[in-house]
Structure 1
């Protein structure tokens, strides 16, 4: 059975926009998984530990046959291949992948809570999510759009699309 899962992506080290773009392409190559939609890139000020560069963020939706734990492990492996180091909470990172939603699943087990426990508090999640899926309902919390106003003090900005080369 295929499920639509929503993944948050972020990076603020080693050419963060490129890290996120590469990871978006790699999501489409995960086993039993295909990329359905991807947002534009956004920049956001760091939360928590603020003495670090701004982040580049995006959100993707995939159709997957992987179980939630298997998908999470695939995302963690992808982070590791991008050089992710977990030196301290909210540290700068080459790539951060969060499993935000897995269909309408609601559960908590060691190392995995769905929906992601803080997604409704993060403008850098909600803005790109609403770009690609404006009617998203966060299970147990309500419409994602209804949470966006609470994030108004966060600095999140859509990046312009990359320039397209035109052959003369």
Structure 2
């Protein structure tokens, strides 16, 4: 992937824990590394095919100085998020140096470096309490309002029988493709927050619920974290998961089985 660099951009801002830092301000030095496709810019020599780094520099300065933060980490994170949301880039790496940090020793600078990117994620969504379709649409609408999430595709909703606990109404199930800046843990926390907002109650295991949101695939990531296991365990065994997922992502690959979703669904 191609890259654009901005190195040593000097900015005067008021970030810092101490009162003097907020009141007096100080110099910060910012390095920016953008990952994006520059093929068309190189081929056609047109400015509109790339990012105008002069305008980007001014936008970064405006964003960095519009609010005061205690931590350099927070200021750097917000800057990464700003670039990802407002510019057509795959990833951004930003280093913010603080050469006048309040340290009573000789040093060159203190710095924080963060790299953030858009991740492709597939979610499962289901409901079997109340107005099921409305519950699912509400969950998608809440997700879509989050600037750190982009809704890319939504499958048809299908009616399915319950699994596990059988004494309950049928489900509506679907799949969603999103792009997100969130890490897996951050995304799972956001999904749990949405479930709580939509009044999900966890009383019976596999029991009735107004809304159920699960992460199926997150890029090609494999992990065994108890909070969010990836890919979702046993997804390949569940028709109510694989049918809507196959509709929107037949060519996606299960990173453990090393098979396309279309093949898994056909075998299922």
- TM > 0.5: yes
Give the structure with the higher percent helix.
2
User: Counterpart in 1 of 2:236?
Assistant: 120
Q: Which moved more, 1:19-28 or 1:86-95?
A: 19-28
User: Counterpart in 1 of 2:247?
Assistant: 131
Matched, 1:16 2:132: yes
Match 2:157 to one of 19, 23, 41: 41
**TM-score normalized by the length of structure 1:** 0.86
Q: 1:61 and 1:71 mapped to 2: Cα distance?
A: 13
Q: 1:74 and 1:11 mapped to 2: Cα distance?
A: 18
Contact 2:123–2:215 (Cα < 8 Å) also in 1: yes
C-alpha displacement at 1:76, in angstroms?
A: 0.3
Q: 2:266 and 2:247 mapped to 1: Cα distance?
A: 15
User: Counterpart in 2 of 1:26?
Assistant: 142
In structure 2, list runs of 5 or more residues that go unmatched: 1-116
Alignment deviations for residues 109-137 of structure 1 (CA, whole Å, 9 cap, x no partner)? 12210000121111111111111111121
Matched, 1:145 2:251: no
Contact 2:148–2:181 (Cα < 8 Å) also in 1: yes
Q: Which moved more, 1:129-138 or 1:76-85?
A: 129-138
- Change in Cα spacing, 1:31 to 1:69, as seen in structure 2 (3 Å) is farther
In structure 1, list runs of 5 or more residues that go unmatched: 152-168
C-alpha displacement at 1:149, in angstroms?
A: 4.2
Contact 2:185–2:227 (Cα < 8 Å) also in 1: no
Structure possessing the higher relative contact order (Cα contacts under 8 Å, 6 or more residues apart) = 1
Contact 1:33–1:64 (Cα < 8 Å) also in 2: yes
Contact 2:250–2:260 (Cα < 8 Å) also in 1: no
Q: 2:249 and 2:266 mapped to 1: Cα distance?
A: 17
Larger radius of gyration: 2
What SS does the aligned partner of 1:107 have?
Answer: coil
Matched, 1:65 2:181: yes
C-alpha displacement at 1:143, in angstroms?
A: 1.9
Q: 1:48 and 1:70 mapped to 2: Cα distance?
A: 28
Q: 1:49 and 1:86 mapped to 2: Cα distance?
A: 13
C-alpha displacement at 1:99, in angstroms?
A: 0.7
Q: 1:107 and 1:5 mapped to 2: Cα distance?
A: 14
The runs of 4+ residues in structure 1 deviating greater than 6 Å are none
User: Counterpart in 1 of 2:219?
Assistant: 103
What SS does the aligned partner of 2:229 have?
Answer: strand
**TM-score normalized by the length of structure 2:** 0.55
User: What do you get for the CA RMSD once the two structures are aligned?
Assistant: 1.2
Q: 2:141 and 2:155 mapped to 1: Cα distance?
A: 12
